[in-house]
């Protein structure tokens, strides 16, 4: 740790339910630093159980930022997060050479580590028109439109994620150019050195952990939490696994049991997409999720 002039961003990535929060806390406590969450679902103060927000004990164990800091009624995108996260890091680095970034949202992790691509402004009427079409015609409409307007991005985006497709479509329509044409053009410089730690597990182990976590969420009041949000079910922030399935239950389309099984199934699919994204990330050192934190700390200190 002789590089006192250098700043390091220890980044913990991996699929949902793999143990990223616990590992991030161990690292933050060892390096006496603070944690930035890059889990886009945990930003929202109204979504607690269904997004696996860290417990009060976990939040008290190390200072956290970007946990339940905005409302589902706020407009907040990855560009906003990049700006806010970099500003927070600039502040933290005046006191400490280390910070921890943790989360399962690959796009948000990339925005902090590498910089966000420079996209054109989007007309609000275009955004609303896309939302209206999605609400009327469903996710199939988004998939067909994106495939037509930008087949390159369509081949790489998570086509089960309506927010990602709506974002790409609004850029396509507003600019008249494919969304993919704006990618990887401009990257912002970073004043820190990233050290990226990936947590992984055998697929069956990962799936068992996901199923168990969903059961815990249900026991802790997920259905009641979703019920309180049901009147606002069309908000973008609520178009996510764990809430969408329960909204279908409240609509009478699913039984409660089927909705819970759908949450498990869709969370497993989400985890698989997360791993596909993260396996493409450069410079990741992967560890089994059961690895002793001291082994990971030793790797980090040897990397400095």
Give the residue numbers of the binding site for ATP: 14-21
**Contact assessment for residue 97 and residue 7, using Cβ atoms and an 8 Å cutoff:** yes
Binding site per annotation, positions for substrate: 16-21
Q: Whose structure tokens read 């199923």? A: 211
What Rg, from alpha-carbon coordinates, does the chain have? 20
What element of type H or E holds 79?
A: helix 78-92
Phi, psi of 39 (to 5 degrees): -100, 105
Binding site per annotation, positions: 14-21
**DSSP class of residue 191?**
S
Cβ within 8 Å of residue 41, ≥6 positions away: 47, 50, 51, 105, 240
- 193-200 sheet: strands from edge to edge: 64-65, 35-37, 98-102, 8-13, 193-200, 284-288
């Amino acid at each position: 740790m002789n590089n006192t002039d250098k700043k390091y961003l220890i980044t913990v990535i991996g699929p949902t339910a793999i143990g990223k929060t616990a590992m991030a806390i161990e690292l933050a406590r060892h390096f006496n630093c603070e944690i930035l969450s890059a889990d886009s679902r945990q930003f929202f103060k109204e979504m607690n159980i269904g997004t696996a927000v860290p417990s009060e004990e976990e939040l008290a164990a190390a200072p956290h930022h970007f946990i339940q800091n905005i409302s589902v009624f706020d407009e907040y995108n990855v560009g906003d997060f990049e700006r806010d996260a970099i500003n927070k890091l600039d502040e933290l680095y005046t006191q400490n050479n280390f910070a921890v970034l943790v989360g399962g949202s690959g796009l948000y992790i990339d925005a902090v580590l590498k910089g966000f691509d420079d996209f054109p402004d989007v007309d609000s009427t275009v955004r609303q028109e896309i939302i209206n079409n999605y609400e009327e015609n469903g996710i199939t409409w988004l998939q067909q439109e994106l495939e037509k307007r930008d087949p390159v991005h369509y081949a790489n985006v998570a086509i089960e994620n309506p927010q990602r497709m709506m974002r790409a479509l609004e850029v396509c329509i507003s600019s008249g150019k494919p969304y993919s044409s704006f990618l990887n053009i401009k990257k912002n410089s970073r004043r820190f050195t990233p050290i990226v730690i990936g947590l992984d597990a055998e697929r069956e182990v990962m799936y068992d952990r996901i199923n168990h976590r969903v059961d815990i969420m249900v026991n802790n009041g997920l259905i009641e939490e979703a019920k309180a949000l049901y009147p606002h079910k069309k908000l973008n922030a609520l178009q996510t696994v764990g809430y969408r399935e329960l909204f279908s239950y409240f609509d009478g389309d699913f039984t409660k049991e089927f909705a819970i099984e759908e949450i498990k199934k869709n969370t497993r699919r989400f985890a698989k997409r997360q791993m596909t994204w993260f396996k493409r990330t450069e410079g990741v050192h992967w560890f089994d999720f059961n690895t002793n934190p001291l082994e990971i700390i030793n790797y980090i200190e040897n990397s400095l």
